[in-house]
Chain A
Amino acid sequence: MVADNGRPTSSLPSWAIEVQGLTKSFGHQLALTGTDLTVRPGEAIVIFGPNGAGKTTLIKVLATIMKPSAGSVKIDGLNLKDNAEEIRCRLGVVSHQTFLYSNLTAYENLEFYSRMYNVPTRTQRIREVVDMVGMISRLYDRVGTLSRGMQQRLSIARSLIHKPSIMLLDEPETGLDQQATAMLWEALKSEGKEKRTILLTTHNLERGLEVGERLLILAQGKITYDKPKQGLDLSELKEAYQHYTRVKA
């Protein structure tokens, strides 16, 4: 069922995401090397990192589509190993790929996903999320005929369809213009009273500093830098980024 009810409010887990010693290897290649990460419920964190630092791997592991090689992951206090399906109901994922079928219309895509997530009152909910991303006029167009930016907006609508409490965003701004980005950020951040937990990865430092409450750097498979936003300015962040992502000779 949808994530926002059925969760006992009295015993809210203290961490929305709790990662310990997470390692992911592909044969001999290590993508994540025993990293730790904790995110409070409602917190918006931004993870920076160069290409190949393990950002996408981290998101995929959290999204339960990749199995960790070692370490533990808890989402809302639930162990990822044993409660994958329960966890999936609480996660919304946006990536640079849209997960949309280009031969189906926007409506059909959303209908498909809402059925998969057991969304009640489907028709109404589909209109709601499409309205949030400003795509009502293109609801019955085939996804393949839409521009990249529009597809990305739909992808965001898709990720919100089941009212997830945690958003995992893997460079979601691909193909979006600035105005759309700002608008979509509002849609992602909260819905009604509930503030969502957000984990965003990007290599755009300015943008990350703007939206994140906590800023982290992932380099060579490990979180190496973790600072709250207060009192941090762009030049300081840039310096830290360069320091931590410099390839060790």
Chain B
Amino acid sequence: MKRKVLLWLSLALMMASLYLVFIYVPTEKEMGIIQRIFYLMVPMGWLALLAFLIVFIGSILYLVKRTSKWDTLAYCSAEIGIVFTTLTLITGSIWAKPVWGVWWTWDEPRLTSTLILWFIYLAYLIVRSFAIEESRGAVFAAIVGIVGFVDLPIVALATTLWRGMHPGPLIFQGGLAPSMLLTLLVSISAFTSLYILLLIQRVSMKNDEMELSTLKRLSS
């Protein structure tokens, strides 16, 4: 039931944000049509951070309580997070091409930090599969989930200082026009609701997977 509501809510919000992004919001003066990708990229980047925050919280709770539901939550959230980090990187480089003339620029600290983020959470997923026992793999992953998240602000700080502050938080320079802000907010809420839906779905799938493998073991 809860899932049905979320599904329809996400769908409605997505439709609304598509309408706002492509039809309602005016084209930005300097960057032109490409700026519209911003209403996708920012929510996806935000969602990745939210997902990794959940990984961080889930990891701490798993280490303290040692109940597998927290590990499952962290793991599923990390999967979604890495998908959205990848999408952020892709949309980011689509944006970079017309704006800077290259697919990838090291001059944009947010792009660089996102790439590092991607590597950290890739390690999170890898370390689990390398562990000799499943339960230790979960503990190791939790540790990467904690260490990685604590590292994020320092990564952001270092990459920003590295390339100077130059385009600044270009997004919010002089504030967004109200119509742009509205579009962004609707898009962010659409993606947040999508994230919650995906997380619930993935967690229940993972639980089913585990139940199945338990049953399999018992029957053999």
Contact = CB atoms under 8 A, between A and B. Distances in A.
Contacts of B134: 26-28
Contacts of A69: 66
A25 interface: yes
A29 B218 CA distance: 11
A69 B213 CA distance: 21
A249 to B, nearest CB: 12
Nearest to A25: B135
Interface residues of B, number: 9
By secondary structure, the B interface counts as helix
Contacts of A27: 133-135, 138
Nearest to A27: B134
Interface in A56-98: 69
B62 to A, nearest CB: 13
A39 B135 CA distance: 31
A26 B135 CA distance: 6
Task: Choose among B135, B213, B217 the residue with the greatest number of A CB atoms under 10 Å from its CB.
Answer: B135
Nearest to B138: A27
Contacts of B214: 28
Contacts of B138: 27
Contacts of B66: 69
Interface in B44-68: 66
Contacts of B217: 28
A25 B136 CA distance: 11
14 contacts: A25-B135, A26-B133, A26-B134, A26-B135, A26-B136, A27-B133, A27-B134, A27-B135, A27-B138, A28-B134, A28-B213, A28-B214, A29-B133, A69-B66
Given A27-B135, A28-B134, 13 more contacts: A25-B135, A26-B133, A26-B134, A26-B135, A26-B136, A27-B133, A27-B134, A27-B138, A28-B213, A28-B214, A28-B217, A29-B133, A69-B66
Interface of B: 66, 133-136, 138, 213-214, 217
- Which 4 residue pairs across A and B have the least CB separation, nearest first? A27-B134, A27-B135, A26-B133, A26-B135
